[in-house]
A and B are shown apart, each in its own frame.
Chain A
Amino acid sequence: MPPGDHDDDFLDDAVTELSDDVGTTVSPGEPTFGETPVASVHAPDSQRTPEYLRVLLFLLVSATFFEGYDNAILALLLRDVQNTFAVSEATLGLSRGLVEVGHFLAFFFTRLGDRWGRRPLLLWSIVGYTLCTALTAVSWDIWSFTLFQLLARIFLGAEYATAITMIVEEFPAPKRGKALGTLLACAALGVIVIGILLQFGVQDGPLEWRTLYLIGLAPLAALSVFRRRVRETRRFEEERVRGRSALSKLSFWEPWRPQYRRMLLTVGIIHLGRSFPLQASTAWWAFYAETERGFTSAEVGFYIIFAYGLGVVGYVVCGRMMERIGRRPTAMLYFFMGVFWAIVLFQVDSKAVAFPALILAVFFGLGVAPVMGAFATELFPTHVRSQSAAWVRNVFEIAGYIGGPALVGLLGDHATGAIGSIGDTVSLIMLLWLPGIYIVWRFIPETKGMELEDIHGSHG
């Protein structure tokens, strides 16, 4: 049957439904069979209303907040979990390793953002994370705990990557850095909240550490209120209109195609080079402070609360700086200062010096996250942005999450490590962050003040 006999049906099927605020222009002339009739949508510089962007940011911060919150529970309450399930340290170590595998598996879920869209992936990942966190609170042995935490990590990883992608795609260039700074600062807030809850002895209540996981249900409440107000990003809608079929068939290896491979490798190496020493230091600082510097556990808690509380400003300052002086100088400055203050932190004997050193190590070391988020997203075109961010975050960066702390454990073990000192081992590994300064300077393009369309041509 010739297509012309059912023109109306044909057009209905072919036109992608867009939300009301998306302006459309239909191509002139008669559409031929197989042609997508919608030719253009909004102008590249069109913006969401400030009110909508505030609501979006509010919902997205739950992703980064619970990233910091969940990691802090595992870092600070692992011994309580061990007591509850009466398992050895070896079993606990295996459980912890399996949980981190969830970050890797998040890669497969996150890449669906380029097929389903950012909005559905965000909403489903919040639902999945919330359910798995609630299930963690009722886990009955170490293996059920491990399974629920592994699943929670998958959803949390996807939520985190999608949040950064949505910020980059929705916020106009002049406000993007500030929004990324605010979003990622909430990861530090998650750690602070855990520190405060522990000071109040929540873990000693009738439900012990399980109470802290029940708090993870909060995002579901926020989701039920704001779910309908969150929209698909305009850039993804435009991309879908341009080539829906191409989007749905994106290869797993798409970001490795020759035209993206150089940037993927560059950004990936920078992320690995940061996460390896950074995770080595954050995972071991409390242990180092207690066993090599004589801190009491109360002092460790106090230092963490105040260091993260004051260091959180680093995220905000980074967000502002990357818009004022640019991504590359901001990253290079933060990298150098992060290495410097971390080495000071792990080398000095004086607690009076260690306190500001910890604050500044958090300020620069963790605070550089907004510019890292910009590298992982802005430098890739819309149709591969989620996948590229997933490769960078869930493969390159997470390799450092596991490798960094593991290497410190091996080399710094007081009994059998080749170096035998956690402080010195972390300091040595910190030197491996410095190559990142050269790679940023030599291979990363500056994108300050540029819309995504300026970076990648008209297809953003």
Chain B
Amino acid sequence: MRRVLVAVVLMGAAALLTGCARDEARAAGAAERWLAAVNDQGRDNLRDDSIERAIEYGEQSLVERVVLANAEDDERHFTDYEVGKALETGDTARVPFRLTARIEGDTEEREGTFVMTHTAEGWRVTGVEPRGAGERVPSEGGARPASASLAHWLGAAVLGVAVTVASALVIRRQPESTAGARRE
């Protein structure tokens, strides 16, 4: 009986972990990963690894469109960055972004929109353009790249109730404790 219970728990955990991830990256997520890899190219000792990562999600030739010529030496290129919700049209998508670039002794705000193309490997950054009308990142009032659905919220509430019931049942099955304090 105990082995069956352990097997059920393990199978449930495996199913849960499988359900935690999508097979393919979202367009906005791929744009953010490309930006993160470009960011790391500012550090000398991280450059080789981060170029490899950037190539996975976009064109390396586009780096100069987001990194300034007078970027701070041996520092990450940006102090912070943010992407907005992707607007998908067939195999292309537009993802607005905002970043704070490190330049020698100072910083500079930059913004734009990544043009994404869906390929056999997933979404890739294939262009950088000025923002279009209504394209905003979340901190400017734009939509978040993704958010929980009503089903997620209901599922969490049901899980909370299930955890409560299961915990109470497990506790009740145990013999009374010797801790003899009063319950007020």
What residues make up the interface of A, taking CB atoms closer than 8 Å to B?
79, 82-83, 86, 88, 258-263, 265-266, 269, 273, 290-298, 326, 328, 349, 379-381, 407, 410-411, 413-421, 423-425, 427-429, 431-432, 434-435, 438-439, 442-447, 450, 454-457
Contact = CB atoms under 8 A, between A and B. Distances in A.
Contacts of A418: 19-22
B127 interface: no
A413 B30 CA distance: 11
Contacts of A435: 160-161, 163-164, 167
Nearest to A455: B181
Interface stretch (B4-12, B41-49, B59-67): B41-49
Given A419-B152, A420-B146, A435-B164, A410 B179 contact: no
A292 B168 contact: no
User: Which 10 pairs across A and B sit closest by C-beta, in order of nearness?
Assistant: A294-B139, A415-B29, A420-B146, A262-B174, A415-B25, A445-B181, A424-B148, A435-B164, A86-B45, A410-B20
Nearest to B107: A296
A424 B25 contact: no
B118 interface: no
B145 A414 contact: yes
Contacts of A443: 168, 171
A292 B144 contact: yes
A262 to B, nearest CB: 4
A86 B45 CA distance: 6
Contacts of B98: 294
A296 B80 contact: yes
B106 interface: no
A294 B21 contact: no
Given A259-B175, A418-B19, A455-B179, A428 B140 contact: no
29 contacts: A83-B45, A86-B46, A86-B49, A258-B174, A261-B174, A261-B177, A290-B82, A294-B139, A295-B80, A296-B100, A298-B79, A349-B138, A407-B20, A410-B17, A410-B20, A413-B29, A415-B26, A416-B23, A416-B25, A419-B146, A428-B152, A429-B156, A432-B159, A434-B164, A435-B160, A442-B168, A443-B171, A445-B181, A445-B182
B167 A420 contact: no
A291 B19 CA distance: 24
A201 to B, nearest CB: 13
B80 A290 contact: yes
Given A259-B178, A326-B184, A446-B181, A293 B138 contact: yes
Given A86-B49, A410-B20, A429-B156, 8 more contacts: A83-B45, A259-B178, A261-B175, A262-B177, A263-B177, A424-B147, A439-B164, A446-B181
A134 B1 CA distance: 50
B93 interface: no
A381 B178 contact: yes
Interface of B: 17, 19-26, 28-30, 32-33, 43, 45-46, 49, 76, 79-83, 98, 100, 137-141, 144-148, 152-153, 156-157, 159-161, 163-164, 167-168, 170-171, 174-184
Contacts of B25: 415-416
Contacts of A432: 156, 159-160, 163
A449 B50 CA distance: 59
Nearest to A459: B178
Contacts of B28: 414
A168 to B, nearest CB: 13
A431 B168 contact: no
Contacts of A259: 175, 177-178
Contact of A450 (B23, B80, B153, B181): B181
Contact of B26 (A326, A410, A414): A414
B137 A455 contact: no
Contacts of B177: 259-263, 266, 379
Given A83-B46, A262-B177, A431-B157, A416 B170 contact: no
Nearest to A435: B164
Contact of A265 (B45, B171, B180): B171
Contacts of B141: 349
B110 to A, nearest CB: 13
A420 B20 contact: no
Nearest to A258: B175
B175 A420 contact: no
B45 A446 contact: no
A446 B79 contact: no
Contact of B32 (A88, A291, A379, A407): A291
A456 B179 contact: yes
Counting chain B CB atoms within 10 Å of each CB, which of A291, A439, A446 scores highest?
A291
B22 A416 contact: yes
B65 to A, nearest CB: 21
A14 to B, nearest CB: 29
Counting chain A CB atoms within 10 Å of each CB, which of B82, B145, B177 scores highest?
B177
A36 B69 CA distance: 82
